[in-house]
Amino acid sequence: MMRVMTSNAVKTRFAPSPTGKLHLGNLRTALFNVLLARRDGGHFLLRIEDSDLARNDASAFDAIAADLRWLGLDWDEGPGIGAPQDWQQSARAEVYTSAADKLLAADAAYWCFCSQQRLAELRAEQTRQGKAPRYDGCCASLPRREADDRRAAGEPAVLRLRMPQSGMLEFNDLVRGQQTVPADALGDPVIQRADGTAAFLFANALDDGLMGVTHVLRGEDHLSNTPRQQVLLRQLGLTAPAYGHLSLVTDEAGAPLSKRSGSAGIAELHAAGYRPEAVLNYLARLGNAGLDEQLHDLDGLARAFEPSRLARSPARFDRSQLDHWQSLAMAQADMASLLPALTADCLPADRRESLVALVQPNIRFAHELNDWAQRLFADELELSADAVAAIRSRDAEFFGQIDQALLEASGEIDWQVWRPRLEALTGCKGGKLMKPLRFALTGLGHGPALGAVINLMVPETRRTRLQRAAAMAGEADDA
Ligand code: GLU
């Protein structure tokens, strides 16, 4: 649903390059931008950064949209809304060319003819001297006319932005606080490639400026781009957004997640049965200690979101934490979202909802409903060695007495009344009654309240299982 954006309201964005599957770190970035927009009643833009045509992967575009939609991270502007020129960089070439022309005309940018070989040698020499590689400004003072002549003669050239040569570049990072970089530490970056396409740094900043983005939360790998992008936007008379840089997310072994590995991709989690609200609640807390322990929807997560409280050190993906949120999400899931997963046909139609309600607190994934359906309704029940041992800890009479008593019960039993009754009848109290009975009926030593299990089961199935248990217990007696 489109929310109304108030004037001077916050606008955040997620700007993936469609070069592969999104990983959980990318999705956390998207989520944090959504939360910031929601918290402040703003808008969220999904911009597809596909200006580097050679690296695009057509299927990645659809996968990105599908992943975000599955998580409920809907966008107010982006694919499916308005014209591609509003959100897709490959449709905006003219915008970039005209801004590049403007910078050139103002002498804020210059043509650079340095060959790849010269640049490689320069980098190698700087590295040898222990310096950080940066462009040395070799072409910065070429007269414009000479540059134009060389281009007209067909010599390839990139366009570079002139960075200030002295002083400090400062900005206040939304996550990391005050940042200061000496201007001369940064070389003049390429803003237009030799083939005329806009370089990432240029298209990315320009679009933020032109699209009215007010806040950008993005990966820390872009931290060093920020001062350059701020200079760029200033030269174009555009307002730069406030930037915040998020720490990396690593895999369980501590290695950075990569788009190529796809190890913890959303599609995999979806297929494994994770619920979107579990993934969202997990991601919202990854490197973010500022939230309580409750399962929240996006608005609830947004209310407590504060970028300055985000961690500055890497956050590690932790499957057990994700599973914790999955269990919480499962316990709170509504019936309608669970029923479609119950595909086993061994239970009567009128008991489907009661089964879901009964076992919901005991399962982590919806497909486990089918295991419970089998366990409580199938003709055959497989018994583990533990089950057999528990059953054989009682005698045939124990199961026979319970079977007989239940046979005489009319309708549902009240376990408060029936438990003491069965204890008196069998002479077995507490675990001595419950454990073998539970194993005999369900094949498991744990599960939902035993009285409720007894009530849910079909009486004939219940009988068959008690009689089988009696026979097994009897066999043990004879042995
Ligand atoms: N397209 C860039 C990326 O995928 C976006 C960087 C940014 O968020 O500014 O890394």
- Residues 345-379: tens digit of each pLDDT: 999 999 999 999 999 999 999 999 999 999 999 99
Q: How confident is the model at residue 264 (pLDDT cuts 50, 70, 90)?
A: low
Asked if pLDDT for residue 58 goes beyond 80, the answer is no
Atom of ligand 1 nearest to the CA of 204: 9
Q: By the 8 A CB rule, do 243 and 171 touch?
A: yes
Pick the CATH number of 266-337 from 1.10.150.120, 1.10.1530.10, 1.10.1160.10, 1.10.3720.10: 1.10.1160.10
When computed from its CA atoms, the radius of gyration of the chain, rounded to whole angstroms, is 32
- Our answer on whether the CB atom of 20 is closer than 6 Å to any ligand 1 atom is no
So where are the chain's domains? 11-250, 266-337, 379-478
Q: Whose CA is nearest to atom 4 of ligand 1?
A: 16
- Residues 48-57: tens digit of each pLDDT: 999 877 777 7
Q: Whose CA is nearest to atom 5 of ligand 1?
A: 15
- Our answer on whether the CB atom of 49 is closer than 6 Å to any ligand 1 atom is yes
| Tokens at 18, concatenated | 């469609």
Asked if pLDDT for residue 258 goes beyond 80, the answer is no
- Residues 80-109: tens digit of each pLDDT: 998 999 999 999 999 999 999 999 999 999
326 CA to middle of ligand 1, Å? 29
pLDDT of residue 60: 86
Q: Among 17, 56, 259, which residue has the most ligand 1 atoms within 8 Å of its CB, making it the best to mutate?
A: 17
- Residues 106-141: tens digit of each pLDDT: 999 999 999 999 999 999 999 999 998 999 999 999
Q: How confident is the model at residue 263 (pLDDT cuts 50, 70, 90)?
A: low
pLDDT of residue 54: 72
pLDDT of residue 400: 96
pLDDT of residue 371: 97
- The CATH number assigned to the domain with range 11-250 reads 3.40.50.620
pLDDT of residue 2: 46
Asked if pLDDT for residue 479 goes beyond 50, the answer is no
- Residues 420-436: tens digit of each pLDDT: 999 999 999 999 999 99
Give me the chain's average pLDDT, please.
93
Q: How confident is the model at residue 396 (pLDDT cuts 50, 70, 90)?
A: very high
- Our answer on whether the CB atom of 259 is closer than 6 Å to any ligand 1 atom is no
User: Mapped to the 3 state alphabet, what secondary structure does the chain carry?
Assistant: CCCCCCCCCCEEEECCCCCCCCCHHHHHHHHHHHHHHHHCCCEEEECECCCCHHHCCHHHHHHHHHHHHHCCCCCCEECCECCHHHCEHHHCHHHHHHHHHHHHHCCCEEEECCCHHHHHHHHHHHHHCCCCCCCCCCCCCCCHHHHHHHHHCCCCCEEEECCCCCCEEEEEECCCEEEEEEHHHCCCCEEECCCCCECHHHHHHHHHHHCCCCEEEEEHHHCCHHHHHHHHHHHCCCCCCEEEEECCEECCCCCECCCCCCCCCHHHHHHHCCCHHHHHHHHHHCCECCCCCCCCCHHHHHHCCCHHHECCCCEECCHHHHHHHHHHHHHHCCHHHHHHHCCCCCCCHHHHHHHHHHHHHHCCCCCHHHHHHHHHHCCCCCCCHHHHHHHHCCCHHHHHHHHHHHHHCCCCCCHHHHHHHHHHHHCCCCHHHHHHHHHHHHCCCCCCCHHHHHHHCCHHHHHHHHHHHHHHHHHHHHC
Residue type present at position 155: E
Atom of ligand 1 nearest to the CA of 219: 8
User: How far apart (Å, rounded) are the C-alpha atoms in residues 337 and 475?
Assistant: 45
Q: How confident is the model at residue 8 (pLDDT cuts 50, 70, 90)?
A: low
User: What average pLDDT score do residues 270-299 get?
Assistant: 95
pLDDT of residue 1: 44
Q: How confident is the model at residue 259 (pLDDT cuts 50, 70, 90)?
A: low
Q: By the 8 A CB rule, do 231 and 163 touch?
A: yes
Atom of ligand 1 nearest to the CA of 218: 8
pLDDT of residue 399: 97
**Residue located via tokens 């210059």:** 110
- Our answer on whether the CB atom of 360 is closer than 6 Å to any ligand 1 atom is no
User: What average pLDDT score do residues 253-260 get?
Assistant: 75
pLDDT of residue 261: 53
Asked if pLDDT for residue 257 goes beyond 90, the answer is no
- Residues 402-419: tens digit of each pLDDT: 999 999 987 899 999 999
- Residues 444-477: tens digit of each pLDDT: 999 999 999 999 999 999 999 999 999 999 775 4
15 CA to middle of ligand 1, Å? 5
Asked if pLDDT for residue 262 goes beyond 60, the answer is no
Asked if pLDDT for residue 290 goes beyond 80, the answer is yes
Fold of the domain spanning 379-478: Arc Repressor Mutant, subunit A (1.10.10)
